[in-house]
């Protein structure tokens, strides 16, 4: 069969009309939720001349005239420039683009809800996330638990997350994951990601909204470190049915520390032979000017919709997922 | 040497793992929050049939296996090898007991089987989903019983033993599902 005739056969959407209707309902609920709380809806560019340097995210580029633009992997930097300019609490519903991420829970183009609450600490933001998710997922959410990363890790793996790497390796072997050693080497964040996603995440409580918080500092990303506890990052992730729905931080506002983390990411990119875009100096300048203390979170809305409808793949709720329809 | 990267992984892809040819049964893309992406993959070892789980860093590559699945006609067994012929090329291959495995008990001359060839040599044989074989030995059943409740063992011409309803007699031909090893129906001659 020629490619053309295959396309002819496959022009219809992958999801049913109920998915379209429930998505529209979800978006309306979110807008109402933030309207009631006086959080301002904003839009920032999807296409920019700078992009995040996180070595684990593959950005996509667009050639425009004689320059390269980047499809944003998240609206974070632009939204933080608004915060520094005095916008107050803001939210955005937008597409984000991450190359190579294809699977049951991933599509290279997906819908993100990202918001920042000025003056909120992480506990207040977790309360906020819980009340919005309850409003969207209703009886899908049984209870709610908050678990410290360190305790969860020790319970599942049998050693502390900061144990020497040979000990992590030994535990991985004992738990039937012998390949971990070769994959993770001497890289502790890799070890933590590997062990968490293979041994901890699948065992999280099913019907409860699970907030994992107090992340190890090596996994801080753009979170601030806990005052007086430099080993702990003020970061959380929220899960339901073992599916990661969102990632929140008490935002790092310190420009020198932010620049140092960016430079470390750039170094990691060069070491791994990945393209290394220039730093977003406008974002760093905004931090230098002063960003208010705030907490922010990003939620994957396609996954929320998937759980709302009781499906096990986001492809069931996307009209044209890339793997099937593009 | 051909290789496949994790982003080419899909069900049915044939690859080498620990020196053995395997087929991919399941491929789950796993990416924790802000970290490294992995592919958690379930394989079936095509030589042993065993299912193995293994994780790869996304973007890693593994060697492709030169594995072909060919429809071939079963010819005969010389006591050591089972011989199959490709009806298109008339090419013949001999499969040993390890490759034929459980399929042996369903093999009757001329049956069209799926033969898995690795580097040209047979490593597995899948019999047709349904075979029609003669009953060579079974207890005389009660005539008139058509319910099939209970049943009795029957030995077939290839040596396989299946449970059949009481009304099935020696000399009759029956249809069997080789995937479950269960009796399906009688076949009129």
**pLDDT digit string (tens) for A156-179?**
999 999 999 999 999 999 999 999
How many Cβ contacts (< 8 angstroms) between chains A and B?
66
Chain A contact present for B28, CB below 8 A: yes
Q: How many residues does chain A have?
A: 326
Question: Taking all residues of chain A, what is their mean pLDDT, rounded to a whole number?
Answer: 93
pLDDT at A121: 96
DSSP code for A49:
S
Please give the helix or strand (H or E) that residue A32 lies within, else none.
helix A17-36
pLDDT at B26: 93
pLDDT at A84: 98
Contacts of A102 in chain B (CB under 8 A): 7, 29
Q: What tokens appear for A320 in the block?
A: 């044209």
Residue A206: pLDDT band (50, 70, 90) is confident
Burial of B146 (0-12, 13-18, 19+ CB in 10 A): exposed
pTM (predicted TM-score) = 0.83
Residue from B141, B109, B145 nearest B127 by CA: B109
Three-state DSSP class for residue A93: strand
Greater pLDDT, A185 or A221: A185
pLDDT at residue A5 tops 60: no
pLDDT at B134: 96
Residue from A258, A297, A264, A296 nearest A280 by CA: A258
pLDDT at A221: 82
- What does the pLDDT look like over A40-64, one tens digit per residue? 999 999 999 999 999 989 999 999 9
Cβ contact, residue pair A179, B38, below 8 Å: no
Of A102, A198, A219, nearest to B34 by CB-CB distance is: A219
Cα distances from B81 to residues A127, A140, A223, B95, in angstroms, run 69, 58, 66, 5
Which residues are paired to B118 by β-bridges?
B67, B121
The neighbour count for residue A207, using CB atoms within 10 Å, is 12
Is the Cβ–Cβ distance between B16 and B63 less than 8 Å?
yes
Q: What is the ipTM of this complex?
A: 0.81
pLDDT at B145: 56
pLDDT at residue A322 tops 80: yes
Q: How far apart are CA A181 and CA B153, in angstroms?
A: 52
Contacts of B29 in chain A (CB under 8 A): 101-106
Residue from A66, A78, A72 nearest A53 by CA: A72
Q: What tokens appear for B180 in the block?
A: 């479950």
Cβ contact, residue pair B36, A106, below 8 Å: no
pLDDT at residue A141 tops 70: yes
Of A190, A237, A244, nearest to B36 by CB-CB distance is: A190
pLDDT at B74: 96
pLDDT at residue A193 tops 80: yes
Contacts of B35 in chain A (CB under 8 A): 56, 189-190, 192-193, 197, 219
Cβ contact, residue pair B29, A183, below 8 Å: no
Q: Give A277's contacts (C-beta < 8 A, 6+ positions apart).
A: A50, A51, A53, A59, A70
% of chain A surpassing 70 pLDDT: 96
Contacts of A183 in chain B (CB under 8 A): 38, 55-57
Cβ contact, residue pair B35, A192, below 8 Å: yes
Q: Sketch the domain layout of chain A as residue ranges.
A: 7-143+207-325
pLDDT at residue A120 tops 70: yes
pLDDT at B189: 61
Greater pLDDT, A141 or B1: A141
Hey, of B34, B41, B55, B61, which one would you mutate to test binding to chain A, going by the most A CBs within 10 A of its CB? B34
Ranges of chain B whose pLDDT falls below 70 = 141-149, 189
Chain A contact present for B109, CB below 8 A: no
Q: Which residue of A has its CA nearest to B5?
A: A100
Of B28, B36, B56, nearest to A193 by CB-CB distance is: B36
Task: Considering the domain delimited by A7-143+207-325, tell me its CATH architecture.
Answer: 2-Layer Sandwich (3.30)
pLDDT at A1: 44
pLDDT at A9: 62
Residue from A216, A296, A225 nearest A254 by CA: A225
Residue from A175, A174, A150 nearest A163 by CA: A150
């Amino acid at each position: 069969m020629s490619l053309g005739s295959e396309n002819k056969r496959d022009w219809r959407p992958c999801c049913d009309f109920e998915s379209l209707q429930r998505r529209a309902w979800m978006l309306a609920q979110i807008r109402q939720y933030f309207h009631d709380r006086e959080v301002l809806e904003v839009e920032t560019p999807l296409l920019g001349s700078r992009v995040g340097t996180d070595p684990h995210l593959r950005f996509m580029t667009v050639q425009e005239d004689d320059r390269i633009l980047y499809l944003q992997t998240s609206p974070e930097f632009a939204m933080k420039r608004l915060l520094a300019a005095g916008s107050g609490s803001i939210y955005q519903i937008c597409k984000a683009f991450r190359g190579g991420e294809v699977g049951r829970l991933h599509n290279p183009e997906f819908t993100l809800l990202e918001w920042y609450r000025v003056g909120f600490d992480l506990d207040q933001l977790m309360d906020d996330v819980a009340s919005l998710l309850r409003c969207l997922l209703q009886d899908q959410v049984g209870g709610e638990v908050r678990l410290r990363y360190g305790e969860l890790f020790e319970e599942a793996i049998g050693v502390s997350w900061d144990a020497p790497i040979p000990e992590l390796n030994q535990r991985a072997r004992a738990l039937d994951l012998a390949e971990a050693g070769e994959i993770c080497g001497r890289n502790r964040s890799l070890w933590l990601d590997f062990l968490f996603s293979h041994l901890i995440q699948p065992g999280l409580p099913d019907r409860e909204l699970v907030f994992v918080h107090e992340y190890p500092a090596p996994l801080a990303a753009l979170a601030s470190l806990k005052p007086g506890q430099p080993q702990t990052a003020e970061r959380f992730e929220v899960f339901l049915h073992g599916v990661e729905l969102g990632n929140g931080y008490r935002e790092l506002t310190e420009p020198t520390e932010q620049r140092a983390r960016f430079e470390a990411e750039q170094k990691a990119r060069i070491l791994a032979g990945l393209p290394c875009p220039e730093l977003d100096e406008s974002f760093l300048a905004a931090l230098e000017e002063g960003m208010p203390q705030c907490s922010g979170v990003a939620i994957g809305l396609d996954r929320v919709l998937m759980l709302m409808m009781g499906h096990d793949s986001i492809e069931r709720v996307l009209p044209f997922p890339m793997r099937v329809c593009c | 040497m051909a290789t496949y990267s994790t982003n080419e992984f899909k069900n049915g892809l044939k690859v080498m793992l620990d020196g053995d040819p395997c087929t991919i049964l399941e491929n789950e893309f796993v990416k924790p929050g802000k970290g490294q992406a992995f592919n958690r993959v379930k394989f079936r070892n095509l030589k042993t049939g065993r299912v193995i789980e293994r994780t790869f860093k996304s973007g890693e590559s593994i060697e492709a296996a030169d594995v072909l699945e060919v429809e071939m006609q079963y010819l005969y067994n010389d006591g050591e090898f089972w011989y199959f012929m490709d009806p298109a090329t008339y090419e013949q291959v001999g499969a040993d007991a390890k490759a034929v495995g459980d399929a042996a008990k369903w093999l009757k001359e001329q049956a069209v089987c799926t033969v898995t060839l690795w580097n040209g040599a047979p490593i597995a044989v899948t019999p047709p989903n349904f075979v029609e074989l003669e009953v060579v030995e079974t207890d005389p059943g009660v005539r008139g019983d058509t319910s099939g409740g209970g049943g009795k063992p029957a030995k077939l011409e290839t040596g396989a033993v299946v449970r059949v309803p009481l009304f099935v007699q020696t000399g009759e031909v029956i249809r069997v599902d080789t995937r479950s090893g269960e009796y399906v129906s009688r076949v009129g001659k």
